[in-house]
Amino acid sequence: MNNSKQTRHTIRVNSSLFFILLCMLYSILVANLYLIQIRDTAFFTQLGSHQYTVAIKQAPPRASIIDRHHKPLAINNDCISAFILPTKLTNPTALKAFLSEHFPNALTQLATHTHKHFMYVQRKLSPEQIACINAAAIQDIQLLRESSRFYPIACTSPIIGKTDIDNNGILGIEQSCNTLLAGTPHTSSLQKDARSGYFYFNKETTLAGQAGSPIQLTIDSTLQFLVNEELKKTVTEYGSQHGCALIMDPANGEILSMVTWPHFDPNSSTIASLEQTKNRVITDAYELGSVIKVFAALAALQEGVVTADELINCKNTKTTSLDGRTINTWKEHGVIPFADVIAFSNNIGIAIVAKRVGESLYSHYTTLGFGKKTGIQLPGEHKGTVNHPSSWSKQSIISLSYGYEIATTLLQIGCAFCSIARDGVLITPKIIVDNKQVVVGPKLYSDASIATIKQILERTTQEGTAKHAYIKGYRIMSKTGTANQLVNGEYNEHKNIYTCAGIIEKGSYQRVLVTFIKESNRKKVYASTVVAPLFEKISQKMLIHDRII
């Protein structure tokens, strides 16, 4: 009996002790949970954050650039980049050995970035580099998906430009409109999944940014491609250094095509030559030769010092003297109407008439926009030059009459021809589509002067030096120019540039086209045989593209 009571007592004591022990353990657990989840929550959250979260500033997806028909010219494309966290390396020895073999530049950078929380190993990895990193399985190297730029139509590269590794615009529209396209960056949390070990951008941002705004250009990308193909053929055929072509709508100044060949590949990580990044239609100014006769003639008509049918004595020679200055022309002509002086591009005849215009010729040239920037929304525009009367010699008025001592860009020439097409109204070029009303400039020339110069240009195309630019069934008003280049202070007759500029019309349809080729490895070639045929070929493709038949 006593044994039974003693046993029950022992069980009760043991149960009480066990219960007290459980209560103590539970109390300890509750106390720890309180410490972790309530009192020290900030500390442990920060600790976890340091282990699995990295704050990084990230730009929003760069806004697109599209053409006049909403076709993409610059879009975003996903790419993979590799990075490390220098302050949290788990196996520095293995990492450094791998970087030394495959990414030596990153290893050099790491030596000075050991205190950094985040460092890129390389941006925009190739598929082979991604495979190499995955195969090595270096724990400290992580992969990250980013946004990069892609350009579907390479021949627009002189206009569009490109971005650098950080998606900042460094050329063309990408540069001039960088702030608008880029928007403002936001700060994101780059978090690591504790189980998988992969990093990803948290959808929540710690500091909100602003998305960029897309830009629509006046460029017709299909027409740009067609023009590029014809220009490339001509540059190749004549062994030229480079060539350019420009198409404008004179009704509103919109640029429909602006091509430079050769051009750079905007999708390549490297640029073979900085020269190929130039948009030569706006960056280079040239003494273009006889194309300028159009504007000297227009000035003379407006000043009333000549008429289209006035007979001008061109001396029936290729070389003559005027006021003690020698004038050379390509072909001898006798007494011919002033219209034929332009149509058959006689230097002697235009110099005689330009002397009548005198110093006001300078004012006519600058009023047309020569020697001034057009204000086109592209970087690197050259303003050109026109020799001021205060610097003139006896030769100057002669040289200025047929395209020397005046250096112009091809865009300036295009704008000047647009003014003729617009019946003497000054035109401003436009390459970005906006909702602004077209600003009509002042009327520079009388209807009579414009009508006469158009007739002269039409004759030049049908029977004169630009006859290879003629297209039956259309009104073509064009002028060619072959000019010697200045080399080491002297004009070299073996290094020429060739230009053909003009207006194409049918009914209400109007376009201005400028074609240009620099040098040729062929002998005895002229603008009439090089760029006038190019003008005709591009015009044909343009008219078919625009369905003007």
Would you say residue 67 has pLDDT above 60?
Answer: yes
Taking the C-alpha atoms of residue 499 and residue 512, their distance in angstroms, rounded to an integer, is 13
Confidence (pLDDT) at 7:
67
Confidence (pLDDT) at 27:
73
User: What is the mean predicted confidence (pLDDT) over 431-442?
Assistant: 83
User: What is the mean predicted confidence (pLDDT) over 43-58?
Assistant: 55
User: What is the mean predicted confidence (pLDDT) over 489-494?
Assistant: 90
Q: Residues 216, 220, 224, CA angle at the centre, nearest 5°?
A: 125
Tokens read off for 219 = 């460029």
Confidence (pLDDT) at 201:
46
User: What is the mean predicted confidence (pLDDT) over 464-489?
Assistant: 96
For the chain, where do the domains classified as CATH 3.90.1310.10 start and end?
55-216
* C-alpha atoms less than 13 angstroms from C-alpha of 489 in its C-beta half-sphere: 0
* pLDDT-derived band at 20, boundaries 50, 70, 90: confident
Taking the C-alpha atoms of residue 257 and residue 248, their distance in angstroms, rounded to an integer, is 7
For the chain, where do the domains classified as CATH 3.40.710.10 start and end?
221-545
Confidence (pLDDT) at 57:
65
Backbone torsions φ then ψ of 528, nearest 5 degrees:
-65, -25
Would you say residue 226 has pLDDT above 80?
Answer: yes
CATH superfamily of 221-545: DD-peptidase/beta-lactamase superfamily (3.40.710.10)
Confidence (pLDDT) at 203:
46
Burial of 373 (0-12, 13-18, 19+ CB in 10 A): middle
User: What is the mean predicted confidence (pLDDT) over 413-420?
Assistant: 98
Query: What does the pLDDT look like over 136-165, one tens digit per residue?
Result: 989 899 898 877 899 999 999 999 999 988
* pLDDT-derived band at 517, boundaries 50, 70, 90: very high
Confidence (pLDDT) at 29:
74
Is the CATH code 3.90.1310.10 the one for domain 55-216?
Answer: yes
User: What is the mean predicted confidence (pLDDT) over 514-522?
Assistant: 96
Lowest pLDDT segment from 39-48, 214-223, 320-329, 409-418: 39-48
Confidence (pLDDT) at 197:
44
Confidence (pLDDT) at 79:
83
Tokens read off for 376 = 């086109």
Lowest pLDDT segment from 177-191, 321-335, 389-403, 485-499: 177-191
Would you say residue 342 has pLDDT above 60?
Answer: yes
How far does CA 535 lie from the centroid of its chain? 23
Taking the C-alpha atoms of residue 364 and residue 23, their distance in angstroms, rounded to an integer, is 103
Tokens read off for 218 = 């006046």
Tokens read off for 503 = 């207006």
Please give the residue that has the higher pLDDT: either 47 or 292. 292
* pLDDT-derived band at 86, boundaries 50, 70, 90: very high
Residue type, 468: H
Confidence (pLDDT) at 435:
80
Query: What does the pLDDT look like over 97-132, one tens digit per residue?
Result: 999 999 999 999 998 888 888 899 988 888 899 999
Q: Over pLDDT 90: what percentage of the chain? A: 70
How far does CA 274 lie from the centroid of its chain? 13
Confidence (pLDDT) at 6:
66
Q: Quote the pTM value.
A: 0.83
Would you say residue 396 has pLDDT above 60?
Answer: yes
Taking the C-alpha atoms of residue 110 and residue 121, their distance in angstroms, rounded to an integer, is 9
Confidence (pLDDT) at 445:
97
Would you say residue 191 has pLDDT above 70?
Answer: no
Sign of CA dihedral 112, 116, 121, 122: negative
Would you say residue 71 has pLDDT above 70?
Answer: yes
Average pLDDT over the chain, rounded to an integer: 89
Question: Is the distance from CB of 240 to CB of 260 less than 8 angstroms?
Answer: no
* pLDDT-derived band at 343, boundaries 50, 70, 90: very high
Confidence (pLDDT) at 37:
64
Please give the residue that has the higher pLDDT: either 164 or 248. 248
Taking the C-alpha atoms of residue 377 and residue 279, their distance in angstroms, rounded to an integer, is 12
> What is the longest distance spanned by two Cα atoms in the chain?
156
User: What is the mean predicted confidence (pLDDT) over 38-51?
Assistant: 55
Would you say residue 331 has pLDDT above 50?
Answer: yes
Spell out where 274-424 has E strands.
311-313, 319-322, 325-328, 335-337, 385-386, 406-407
Residue type, 518: K
> How does DSSP classify residue 36?
I
Question: Is the distance from CB of 252 to CB of 434 less than 8 angstroms?
Answer: no
* pLDDT-derived band at 504, boundaries 50, 70, 90: very high
Please give the residue that has the higher pLDDT: either 270 or 199. 270
Confidence (pLDDT) at 200:
46
Confidence (pLDDT) at 237:
97
